[in-house]
Structure 1
Amino acid sequence: MAKIGIDFGSSYTTVAWINPLNEKPETVKFNGDGSVKLPSVLLATETGFVIGFQASSYLDEVFQLPFEQRIEIMSNFVPCIKKKLSTKATELLYGNKYSHEQLLTIFFKYVIEQTAAHCGSHTYIDSVVFSHPVEFEKSKIQLIHNAFTNLHIAVENTLYEPEAAVIGYSIDHRISDEEGILVFDFGGGTIDVACVQKKYGELKLATEPKGNSNCGGQDIDYLLYEDLRKKIQAKYSFDISDKNMIDYAMLNSCRRLKEYFSGPNDVYETNIALVIDGRITTYKYRLSRDTFNNIIYSKVSDAISVAKQVLADVNSKKIKVGKVLLIGGSSQLTLVREMLTELLPESEIDTCGEKDIAVALGNIYTPEKDKKGPENPPFAEPLNMNKSMICKKCRSEKCYKLVERSGYHCLDCGWEGKNITVTFQN
């Protein structure tokens, strides 16, 4: 029996497990080449689904195919199912309708198979912890939950992605008590920001996390795609979005160019293969850093705005942010670092080394408590079984109704009154 932690991303998926040989959390390697990131993509074909690396490899070769075949492949390609998850929507793929729950089940079945291949044939995966963005409807969480249930895998817990990220970060990094860490998780689909503090040896959310589901790395890719589209139209009178269909091969090239700008150079370029009048033409999409920053500025500003919302709550509680933790590929862009440094000039900006594995590791790792938490006060009584109380400060369910006083008390962090949310269960 084995439990895994999954970071199901809009662009990539990573998985972690506890290696029984050393009892330490490790990331799962895919594709036989040491890759820890599995592309979160599916392609429907006549014989079934192609998933992950094999599906994304089609994007590198599709330009060589005749126009009709290109359109067929693009129309059966599912590039980011997480970003558009819906209980009501269906996808028409190769003549068959699939619900999003069915597509998730197909994708996770493949992930589980690849994970088992890494962990060994003797390993039986029976449970999972997965994380999700801050702005992620309960219905979407339930869809993911249902997909694992369909595979006979129990869901042990779910976490906010920035919360899991800082837990993963703590594996190899020391975090001091009361230290405020601002987690800036700028992934493929969303921006999520949270402030986390270590309290009594436990990492706790210090304020309510914030997010924006319309601001992620893929939204930056689309900005670059539209810039590329205009330039190709101007030069060749050729629209890469034929019939308003996104050319995912071109979009993939834009994503690669974006990733280049995490490096130190002032100019980057990528070669775009076009088929015009039956001939393959190579177009060099070249951008300076200033031009690149101008194109992406609006989305980066939106991401920084989310951080400002969290900081407003942090400052009201007089919490000092000693460190900013960058998570997700787009968090590594120099414009992001510059704007965060301007916002928090006295805070250290840090990463997890391998920026894309912290969330998966945090989903599987449980830090040991090194201090005893606050005692339950004598004027508190145990929670009635027909109520569920959750502390807004630390998200603990260890909450008590105060006797002869108005309000509630959290056993884990000591917070009282308005910081407890009470919900009645059937």
Structure 2
Amino acid sequence: MEETPIIGIDLGTTYSSVAVWKDGKVEIIANEHGNITTPSFVSFNDNERLIGDAAKNQASTNLSNTIFDIKRIIGRSYDDPCLQKDLKRWPFKVVNCENKPKIQVEFRGEIKEFAPEEITAMVLTKMKQTAEAFLGTTVKDAVLTVPAYFNNHQRQATKDAGAIAGLTVHRLIHEPTAAAITYGLDKHITGTKNVVVFDLGGGTVDVSVLVIHEDPFFDVIGTAGDTHLGGEDFDNRLVDYLAEEFHHKFSKDLRTDPRAMRRLRTVAERAKRTLSSSMEASIEVDALFDGIDFCTSISRAKFEELNEDLFERILDVVCTALRNAKMTKAWVDDVVLVGGSTQIPKIQELLKDLFWDMPPNVSMNPDEAVAYGAAVQAAAFNGECELYMSDVTPFSLGAKITNSRISTIIERNTPIPCSKTKSFDIDCRTSTVVRAFEREESVPKRKTLLGELRFEGSETELRELKVQFVVDSSGILRVRAAIESFKSLVPKGRFSEQEIEKMVCDADIFRKEEEAEKKRLEAEYK
């Protein structure tokens, strides 16, 4: 009996890709347009839902109903400062539903609200369909990639999105770890090599420090990252600069016009790409605002100046990863670049200087590397190839018992999967609340409440409370606590199983409606 294929999906902020292990090697799968990357865009109009290239093509004409940057929303609460900052730039509407963000669109004449998990599931469905068209069979299983610095909420929400898309997610694998797998297999490493994988994409920066052995064995020993820092932030700086120049030249504020801002963002992104190979980029937009044509140019030096502080923040992430791994720069054998934003010359120059004039390794295709590694991990699940991998927790995890201080149970950089139990003496005459937190050691005040459970008071005085933390191979935490019998902690802000099931049903309705419409159109043209 032939094994069911397990696909690997690189779920990106701006673009996604999919790969599969087939006939003893990895195949990067092109979409219907022949591209190996698909825009992570979803658009709604009066007649249909569009995903990928077709959706991105509507970004300038159907502004309020075209959704992008969903990776910057998923797993965040509505009051998250990063989300609030982004809301000022997005042309689509995000509403507050009990401190959960929901995306509001007009679809088929009605106002609809979608959870970030549902929009993400639509992108995953597109990647699933791309793989099915290539394989000629139904796909139900996947390995998904996530930033190494995704927190517990973001990981669980991504896994839920996979379920809504009709996928069994066998594992979430860190994006730099997936890239390291690609690097390790491509280089046919002998002996042991200390490698820094630097992954800078559209919305996130992730750095992992690994020891790669020839087994092949990949041992992650330290990570660091920022889930709100990437190529789109460079675009934002350029857009702000150009909008200010327009205001200075014509005394008109085009920031009041979302369509003009979207068109400006398109040319700004194009200019950023041009500056990776040229010292200057021309910008020309006909009738940008109030019928005014806008023509200007931007130099590479000016672009670098606009983003200087962001580049410094990125270097800080690299240094933090090295500290977390307890590794000095002198011990690093190679610095591997992944992600489209690593093509920016200044980024490569700064990394070269940081690592004492060692040029970074740019040999891997940044559009393929992460999906490739995810497909290898998927094949290992099916027993089609050998792979040994050890990853770590990016944050420390602790428990707070009622009004006590947070007590760390699992330290940051602990290899996963792992399980640890800690006992506390409590007074059972009053109710006891167990709260689980995720903490970022580099920012002492930054902590995230993951969930809580309560034990009601009784006549008994001192008793022993046992708290068990279990982190699975996807980096997702499960917590149980017991005085006499175990209770499981309910993750804060997560959708219930019933809500997830409803989203699955809604996604299935979308799929059936679109299949019916496709068959109708095919019949018309016969």
With normalisation by structure 1, the TM-score equals 0.79
Structure 1 counterpart SS, 2:49: strand
Partner of residue 173, structure 2: 159
Note if contact 2:254-2:289 (Cα within 8 Å) is conserved in structure 1.
Answer: no
Question: Larger relative CO (CA 8 A, sep 6+): 1 or 2?
Answer: 1
Residue in 2 that maps onto 1:90: 102
CA deviation vs aligned residue, 1:224-253 (integer Å, no higher than 9, x gap): 110111011112223232167883332122
Moved more, 134-143 or 303-312: 134-143
1:271 corresponds to 2:284: yes
C-alpha distance in 2, partners of 1:187/1:230?
Answer: 26
Unmatched 5+ stretches in structure 2: 77-99, 391-408, 422-467, 471-478, 481-526
CA pair 292-275 structure 1, distance change in 2 beyond 3 A: closer
Name the amino acid aligned to 1:89.
P
Q: Which moved more, 1:213-222 or 1:142-151?
A: 142-151
For the residues of structure 1 that align with 2:13 and 2:70, how far apart are their CA atoms?
7
Correspondence for 2:58: 58
In structure 2, C-alpha distance between the alignment counterparts of 1:340 and 1:30, rounded to whole Å = 34
> Does the residue aligned with 1:197 lie in a helix, a strand or coil?
strand
Alpha-carbon contact 2:223-2:413 (below 8 Å) kept = no
* Cα offsets for 1:330-388 (capped at 9, x unmatched): 111111111111100253411243212111111111476599x9xxxxxxxxxxxxxxx
CA distance in 2 between partners of 1:287 and 1:253 (Å): 11
Q: For 2:387 and 2:72, locate their aligned partners in 1 and report how far apart those are by CA, in whole Å.
A: 38
| Aligned equivalent of 2:17, options 14, 17, 23 | 14
Q: 1:164 to 1:316 in 2, by over 3 A?
A: closer
Any conservation in 2 of the 1:42–1:51 contact (CA below 8 Å)?
yes
CA contact under 8 A between 1:179 and 1:320: conserved in structure 2? Answer: no
Cα contact 2:419–2:469 (8 A) shared by 1: no
290, 297, 302: which is aligned to 2:301? 290
Q: 1:99 to 1:313 in 2, by over 3 A?
A: closer
User: Secondary structure of the residue that 2:415 maps to in structure 1?
Assistant: coil
Gaps of 5+ in 1: 63-69, 374-388, 402-421
What is the RMSD of the two structures over their aligned residues, measured on CA atoms? 2.8
CA distance in 2, matches of 1:245, 1:208: 43
User: How big is the shift at 1:317?
Assistant: 6.8
Counterpart of 1:35 in structure 2 is: 35
Which residue of 223, 248, 251 corresponds with 1:234? 248
Aligned to 1:333: 344
Q: Give the alignment partner of residue 250 of structure 1, picking from 254, 264, 267.
A: 264
Amino acid of the structure 2 residue aligned with 1:105: A
Q: In structure 2, how many angstroms separate the alpha carbons of the residues matched to 1:85 and 1:400?
A: 28
Q: Please tell me the residue identity of whatever aligns with 1:113.
A: Q
Within 5 Å, give how 1:15-414 maps onto structure 2. Answer: 15-19=18-22, 22-32=23-33, 34-59=34-59, 62=60, 70=61, 73-86=62-75, 88-94=100-106, 95-117=111-133, 119-121=134-136, 123-199=137-213, 201-242=215-256, 247-263=261-277, 265-277=278-290, 279=291, 281-314=292-325, 316=327, 320-366=331-377, 395-397=415-417
Structure 2 length as normaliser, TM-score? 0.65
Q: Answer whether contact 1:3 1:17 (CA < 8 A) is retained.
A: yes
| Cα distance change on mapping 1:198 and 1:333 into 2, 3 Å | same
Q: Secondary structure at the match of 2:356?
A: coil
**Residues 184-234 of structure 1: per-residue CA shift (max 9 Å, x gap):** 101111110011111462443443200012211111110011011101111
Cα 1:273–1:246 change in 2 (3 A) is closer
Contact 1:105/1:150 (CA < 8 Å) preserved in 2? yes
**In structure 2, C-alpha distance between the alignment counterparts of 1:7 and 1:390, rounded to whole Å:** 28
User: 2:300 & 2:376 partners in 1: Cα distance?
Assistant: 38
Cα separation, 2, equivalents of 1:342 and 1:9 = 28
The aligned counterpart of 1:416 is none
Q: Distance in 2 between matches of 1:110 and 1:266?
A: 37
- Give the residue type in structure 1 aligned to 2:166: H
Once the two structures are TM-superposed, the CA of residue 104 in structure 1 deviates from its matched residue by: 1.9
Q: SS of the residue aligned with 1:149?
A: helix
Kindly state the Cα deviation for residue 394 of structure 1 after the two structures are TM-superposed: 7.7
SS in 1 for 2:20: strand
Separation in structure 2 between the aligned mates of residue 204 and residue 192 of structure 1, nearest angstrom = 17
1:248 aligned counterpart, secondary structure: helix
CA offset at residue 325 of structure 1? Answer: 0.5
Distance (Å, rounded) in 1 between the aligned partners of 2:236 and 2:420: 49
Structure 2 Cα separation of the partners of residues 4 and 319 of structure 1: 38
Number of equivalences: 371
Q: Any idea what the Cα deviations from partners look like across 1:168-192, whole Å, max 9, x if unmatched?
A: 2223223343211111101111110
Aligned match of 1:67: none
Asked if structure 2 preserves the Cα contact closer than 8 Å seen for 1:16 and 1:361, the reply is: yes
Contact 2:195 2:336 in 1 (8 A): yes
**1 CA distance for matches of 2:323 and 2:120?**
37
Alignment CA distance shift 1:275-1:306 (3 Å)? closer
In structure 2, what is the Cα distance between the partners aligned to 1:270 and 1:37? 26
| Separation in structure 2 between the aligned mates of residue 392 and residue 288 of structure 1, nearest angstrom | 42
Can you list the C-alpha shifts for 1:21-74, whole angstroms capped at 9, x where unaligned? x22111110133x31110111112111322211122234xx4xxxxxxx5xx21
Residues 352/335 of structure 1: CA separation in 2 closer, same or farther (3 Å cut): same
Give 2:283's aligned amino acid: T
- CA gap 1:148/1:214 in 2 versus in 1, 3 angstroms: closer
Structure 1 letter corresponding to 2:12: G
CA distance in 1, matches of 2:75, 2:257: 25
Q: In the TM superposition, what is the alpha-carbon distance from 1:107 to its structure 2 partner?
A: 2.4
Query: Using the alignment, how far apart are the partners of 1:298 and 1:141 within structure 2?
Result: 29
Counterpart-to-counterpart distance in 1, 2:104 and 2:65: 8
Measured in 2, the distance between the counterparts of 1:81 and 1:400 equals 34
2: CA distance, partners of 1:133 / 1:246: 32
Partner of 2:5: 2
- The alpha-carbon deviation at position 11 of structure 1 amounts to 0.6
